[in-house]
């Protein structure tokens, strides 16, 4: 029988001659009375607690970024469902319990909608596919594979593992970028403060000297005069915003632009290595899970093509999908695509010879996760000293430029 959404009631009654009161959450009024009687409570008075009516100020904003659900929330949601199903709880009851524990308004709304669909006779995969904005193709195909195979709890465990590893990869990239971005922001802030507050003070002093300013100092003064004009700052901000929007528009509607950006990204030192290793790690783990579930190689490759948005990888996966039906070995097809590292196809060939492709793919995923982490650590090691030198050089050059006229004036007096 399909589980029902729970209702809350306040109750008053007597237990062993003493007055008692409290709250109870059950499926309906009759169930509430039955549960209380089983506890030995008599003379029961029940009152349903109605959900709070939304006012005009409580309207849920679900468009744009306001309607997004953070990846971490999706991970926690999946982990809870997986844990409850492993404990033997039916999927609908598990989702109802998770709904009561969910604080994110958008995730609670999506979860409740899926519960309603399940109670209406829809399958679990159909309920999830009604919310493709929040669950990607990888997630949806894993859920469907688990549902078809009758091992949903196992697949949710694997899905949780995949999401955790994706979070680890994202956290590694954010960690590597956090330090340089922070230093750049600090440098820009300090430079802006000096140009708008410190340089004008020195400029007044330079005018009193009556001498021609050295070229570096004049450049700093000109920059200060330029940046203090509000229309110039507004022009820079509006230009940057326009470039950002143009880039988004061209990337969305012009395939050639996406391809050029993908090629450039993969050729960038260190950054390209990070993209390759993180993509291969995610793809290998996903392919291993899908093949272990009995999903056909063609369908598995189709799902894996959604792992990366980089056009180079997408095109390579499309070519492999087209050629796999010819009976060519999977390792050879990957070897033909230059975007994939040669070690990937070599390890796949070992899996094909031993007949343990899914286990080999899991080992490949682990190997490239470790490689990815090593590259990220190396990036942090290289960037940190470079950024310190960059910040020091920027601030130092500005200070020296400001004091050059003073040094020149001192030399003139000494002469």
Q: Name the residue among 79, 87, 75, 10 with its Cα closest to residue 44.
A: 10
pLDDT, one tens digit per residue, over 321-356 is 889 888 888 899 999 999 999 989 999 999 888 888
Distance CA 300, CA 307 (A): 11
Report whether 8 contacts 32 (CB < 8 A).
no
206: which residues sit within 8 A by CB, 6+ positions away?
Answer: 213, 217, 221, 405
Dump pLDDT digits (tens) for 179-213. 778 888 888 888 888 888 888 888 877 776 666 77
pLDDT in the model for residue 1 = 38
Q: For residues 215 and 103, give the distance between their C-alpha atoms in angstroms, rounded to a whole number.
A: 59
Query: What's residue 211's pLDDT?
Result: 66
Q: Are 56 and 38 in contact (CB under 8 A)?
A: no
pLDDT at 333: 92
pTM over 0.75: no
Residue 61: per-residue pLDDT: 53
What phi, psi does 44 have (nearest 5°)? -80, 135
Fold of the 69-164 domain: Receptor-associated Protein (1.20.81)
Distance between CA atoms of 155 and 401, rounded to whole angstroms?
64
Q: What is the DSSP letter of 198?
A: I
pLDDT of 242 reads 94
Select from 1.20.81.30, 1.20.120.430, 1.10.10.10, 3.30.70.260 the CATH code of 170-415.
1.20.81.30
For residue 268, how many C-alpha atoms fall within 13 Å in the half-sphere facing its CB? 12
CB 228, CB 200: distance < 8 Å: yes
Is residue 404 a contact partner of residue 204, using CB atoms and an 8 Å limit? no
pLDDT at 241: 93
pLDDT, residue 410, reads: 54
Average pLDDT along the chain, 415 residues, taken 10 residues at a time: 61 82 78 81 79 49 64 89 86 88 88 89 87 84 80 84 80 76 84 86 75 81 86 90 91 88 87 86 83 78 83 91 88 91 90 85 86 79 80 84 73 48
């Amino acid at each position: 029988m399909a589980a029902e959404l729970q209702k809350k009631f306040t109750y008053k009654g007597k237990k062993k001659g003493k007055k008692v009161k409290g709250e109870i959450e059950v499926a309906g009024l009759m169930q509430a009375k039955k549960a209380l009687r089983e506890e030995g409570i008599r003379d029961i008075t029940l009152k349903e607690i109605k959900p709070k009516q939304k006012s005009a100020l409580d309207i849920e904003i679900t468009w744009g970024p306001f309607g997004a659900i953070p990846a971490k929330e999706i991970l926690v949601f999946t982990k809870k469902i997986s844990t409850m199903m492993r404990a033997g709880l039916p999927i609908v009851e598990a989702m109802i319990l998770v709904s009561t524990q969910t604080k994110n308004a958008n995730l609670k709304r999506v979860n409740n909608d899926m519960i309603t669909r399940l109670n209406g006779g829809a399958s679990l995969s159909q309920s999830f596919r009604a919310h493709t904005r929040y669950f990607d193709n990888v997630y949806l195909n894993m859920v469907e594979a688990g549902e078809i195979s009758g091992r949903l709890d196992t697949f949710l465990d694997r899905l949780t593992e995949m999401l955790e590893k994706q979070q680890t990869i994202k956290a590694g990239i954010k960690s590597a970028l956090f330090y340089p971005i922070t230093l750049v922001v600090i440098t820009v802030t300090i430079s802006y403060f000096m140009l708008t507050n410190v340089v004008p003070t020195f400029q007044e002093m330079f005018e009193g000297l009556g001498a021609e300013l050295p070229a570096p100092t004049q450049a700093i003064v000109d920059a200060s005069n330029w940046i203090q004009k509000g229309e110039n700052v507004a022009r820079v901000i509006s230009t940057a915003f326009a470039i950002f929007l143009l880039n988004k528009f061209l990337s969305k509607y012009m395939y050639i632009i996406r391809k050029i950006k993908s090629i450039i990204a993969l050729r960038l030192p260190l950054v390209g290595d990070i993209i390759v290793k993180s993509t291969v790690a995610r793809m290998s783990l996903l392919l291993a899970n899908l093949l272990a579930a009995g999903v056909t190689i063609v369908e598995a490759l189709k799902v894996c093509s959604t792992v990366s948005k980089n056009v180079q990888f997408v095109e390579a996966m499309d070519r492999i999908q087209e050629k796999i039906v010819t009976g060519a070995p999977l390792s050879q097809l990957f070897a033909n695509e230059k975007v994939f590292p040669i070690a990937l196809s070599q390890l796949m060939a070992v899996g094909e010879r031993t007949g343990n492709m899914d286990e080999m793919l899991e080992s490949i995923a682990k190997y490239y996760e470790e490689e990815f982490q090593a590259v990220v650590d190396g990036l942090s090691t290289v960037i940190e000293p470079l950024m310190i030198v960059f910040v020091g050089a920027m601030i130092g050059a500005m200070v020296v430029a400001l004091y050059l006229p003073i040094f020149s004036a001192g030399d003139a007096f000494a002469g």
